[in-house]
Amino acid sequence: GLACPEPFAVTRNETCVVKYPDTVVDIVEPDMPPYSVIYPGPTLTTFPQHTVVGSTALLDIRNLLGSRGCLGFGGRCG
């Protein structure tokens, strides 16, 4: 007669890409015309993962799931 709540775990993994601006360096030498060197800015890619583990007795799963079946709690890129 004892009813136990069901355990659950939901995970979301989402790619985050950040592109930093290029760096421009102006070079001036005495006997030459000035020129610029451009160093490309880095592109950083991360794969943040968010996981919820719990019991159906503690959380209302409908509040966690969005319209597409993704979790409603959001991570930040950066």
Domain boundaries defined on the chain: 7-63
pLDDT, tens digit (0-9, with 9 covering 90-100), for 17-46: 889 999 999 999 999 999 999 999 999 888
The pLDDT of residue 37 is 94
Can you spell out the DSSP letters for 17-72? EEEPPPEEEEE--TTS--EEEEEPPPEEEE--EEEEEEETTT--HHHHB-TTS-BS
Global pTM reads 0.40
pLDDT, tens digit (0-9, with 9 covering 90-100), for 56-75: 655 555 555 554 444 444 44
